[in-house]
């Protein structure tokens, strides 16, 4: 079927967009015609979220255009030429345990999305990062469309573009916004990445896809399970309390009152998705470029603690975990150690309690106190 049907020069149908996305290896895809019906409501929600300080130090979320509007609140602000967005979903669910399953008391937790690997030319497993893996697919999709339709404006993004991907995914009919704020696909669940291609193509006037209705019902498992109270109300997150933000995005010392709730999470957090019933039935993803690395599932805290800068680089080069940084990961490990009740960890925590890095020092001192082991006194104490 041709994309460019008579009377629809430079236009695109949902079916064709979806077909091309699936050919690139995505599990699902949809098309949004701009402006979409809920755009004003989403823009208001976004502005309110930013206004009350929920974005913390993620300043890229609060950037404004010359007229004062938040750049991300509507696709048309950064991209005045945009007429449609192709939204793609790539699953990363796997058979490995959940963060909420029983585990060794000395094990930490790295979020599922960061476990990924792919085979290199020699067949060896190398860490992979969904940003790179999926951007390559989006660029191939973009190229196919340009081959078929010629000149038009387009921008492909995975996570880092100035758009609210979950709002677009909902508008594309890929799922609903759960009370945990994740995009939940009715069959694939929420363990999925989103990728977008913003285009100047008119979306063809096919009957609009039906929005997926909210299927959370009376459930509130995610709200009850969130250990730091980041889900302040259904569908509302205070990112500054979210373990994912604290362990990945936030640099420096973490507020002491949040440390206990962080439990054993050393990079990201899966709790509000691991308790979600819609992820119980979700199929395991067969994506060859997003295969779980066994060593990152329930990693021993001691293994992470003994890493020096060079082993950190070797282990996490090409992996999303690198974003936390060497000191950031070590800080998170210190907090997780404090939450284990395993006093033997004091041998790592004592030297860290004297570290020059304030984030690590604060975390290690708190952990020692929590393990009820006396911290080595310093001139500051």
Collapsing DSSP states into helix, strand and coil, what is residue 277? Answer: helix
Cβ count within 10 A of residue 249: 17
User: Which entry of ligand SF4, ligand B12, none binds 194, CB below 5 to 8 A by partner kind?
Assistant: ligand B12
Catalytic pick among 4, 159, 214, 357: 159
Q: Please, which residues bridge with residue 31 across strands? A: 86
- Work out whether 324 is an interface residue with ligand SF4 (CB under 6 A): no
Pairing of strands 11-12, 202-203: parallel
Q: Which two tokens stand for residue 234?
A: 């259904």
Residue 127 DSSP label: E
- Work out whether 239 is an interface residue with ligand B12 (CB under 6 A): yes
- Work out whether 276 is an interface residue with ligand SF4 (CB under 6 A): yes
- Work out whether 216 is an interface residue with ligand SF4 (CB under 6 A): yes
Contact range with ligand B12 by CB under 6 A, out of 2-10, 38-46, 80-88, 302-310: 38-46
Rounded to whole angstroms, the Cα distance separating 355 from 350 reads 9
User: Which entry of ligand SF4, ligand B12, none binds 271, CB below 5 to 8 A by partner kind?
Assistant: ligand SF4
Sorted by sequence, the CB contacts under 8 Å of residue 258 that are 6+ apart come out as 228, 241, 246
Rounded to whole angstroms, the Cα distance separating 106 from 204 reads 55
Q: Which two tokens stand for residue 8?
A: 């629809």
CB-count burial class (<10 Å; 0-12, 13-18, 19+) for 83 = buried
Q: Of the candidates 30, 108, 263, 268, which one interacts with ligand B12 according to CB under 6 A? A: 268
Q: Which is nearer to ligand B12, 178 or 338 (CB)?
A: 178
Active site residue 159: yes
Listed in order, strand segments (DSSP E) in the chain are 11-12, 28-33, 84-91, 109-110, 116-119, 125-127, 154-157, 176-177, 183-184, 192-199, 202-203, 231-233, 236-237, 265-267, 291-292
Residues of this chain, 84-103, that bind ligand SF4 according to CB under 6 A: none
- Work out whether 165 is an interface residue with ligand B12 (CB under 6 A): yes
Residues that contact ligand SF4, how many (by CB under 6 A) = 23
- Work out whether 322 is an interface residue with ligand B12 (CB under 6 A): no
Minimum distance of ligand SF4 from residue 380's CB (angstroms): 31
- Work out whether 202 is an interface residue with ligand B12 (CB under 6 A): no
- Work out whether 138 is an interface residue with ligand B12 (CB under 6 A): no
- Work out whether 247 is an interface residue with ligand SF4 (CB under 6 A): no
C-alpha distances out from residue 144 to 34, 90, 92, 203, 300, Å: 22, 19, 25, 17, 44
- Work out whether 154 is an interface residue with ligand SF4 (CB under 6 A): no
**First-to-final CA distance of the chain:** 73
Q: Of the candidates 31, 34, 174, 230, which one interacts with ligand SF4 according to CB under 6 A? A: 230
Q: Which two tokens stand for residue 304?
A: 């992470």
- Work out whether 339 is an interface residue with ligand B12 (CB under 6 A): no
Q: Of the candidates 8, 118, 186, 235, which one interacts with ligand B12 according to CB under 6 A? A: 235
- Work out whether 272 is an interface residue with ligand SF4 (CB under 6 A): yes
C-alpha distances out from residue 199 to 60, 172, 174, 202, 274, Å: 22, 14, 18, 8, 35
Applying CB under 6 A, which residues contact ligand B12? 42, 45-46, 49, 58, 61, 111, 113, 158-159, 161, 163-167, 177, 180-183, 190, 192-194, 235, 237, 239, 242, 244-245, 249, 268-270, 272
Applying CB under 6 A, which residues contact ligand SF4? 178-180, 216, 219-222, 226, 228, 230-231, 237, 242-244, 269, 271-272, 275-278
Which positions are catalytic? 159
């Amino acid at each position: 079927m041709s994309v460019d049907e008579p009377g629809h020069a430079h236009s695109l149908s949902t079916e064709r967009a979806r077909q091309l996305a699936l050919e690139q290896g995505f599990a699902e895809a949809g098309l949004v015609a701009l402006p979409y019906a809920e755009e004003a409501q989403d823009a208001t929600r976004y502005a309110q979220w930013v206004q009350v300080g929920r974005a913390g130090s993620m300043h890229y979320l609060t950037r404004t255009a010359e007229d004062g509007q938040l750049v991300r609140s509507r696709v048309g602000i950064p991209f005045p030429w945009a007429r449609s967005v192709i939204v793609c979903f790539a699953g990363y669910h796997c058979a490995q345990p959940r963060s909420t399953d029983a585990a060794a008391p000395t094990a930490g937790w790295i979020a599922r999305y960061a476990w990924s690997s792919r085979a290199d030319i020699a067949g060896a497993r190398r860490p992979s990062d969904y940003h790179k893996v999926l951007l390559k697919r989006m660029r191939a999709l973009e190229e196919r469309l340009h081959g078929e339709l010629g000149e038009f404006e387009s921008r492909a993004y995975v996570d880092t573009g100035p758009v609210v991907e979950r709002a677009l995914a909902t508008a594309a009919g890929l799922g609903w916004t759960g009370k945990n704020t994740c995009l939940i696909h009715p069959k694939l669940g929420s363990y999925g990445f989103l990728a977008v291609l913003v285009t100047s193509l008119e979306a063809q006037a096919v009957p609009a896809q039906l929005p997926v209705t909210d299927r959370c019902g009376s459930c509130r498992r995610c709200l009850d399970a969130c250990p730091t109270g980041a889900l302040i109300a259904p569908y509302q997150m205070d990112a500054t309390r979210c373990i994912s933000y604290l362990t990945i995005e936030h640099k420096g010392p973490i507020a002491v009152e949040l440390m206990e709730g962080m439990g054993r999470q050393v990079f990201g957090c899966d709790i509000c998705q691991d308790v979600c019933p819609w992820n119980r039935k979700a199929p395991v993803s067969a994506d060859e470029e997003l295969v779980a690395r066994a060593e990152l599932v329930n990693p021993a805290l001691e293994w992470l603690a003994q890493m020096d800068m060079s082993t950190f680089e070797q282990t996490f080069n090409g992996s999303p975990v690198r974003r936390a940084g060497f000191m950031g990961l070590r800080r998170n490990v210190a907090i997780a150690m404090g939450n284990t009740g395993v006093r033997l960890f004091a041998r790592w925590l004592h030297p860290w309690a004297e570290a020059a890095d304030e984030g690590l020092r604060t975390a290690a001192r708190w952990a020692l106190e929590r393990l009820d082991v006396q911290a080595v006194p310093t001139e500051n104490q």
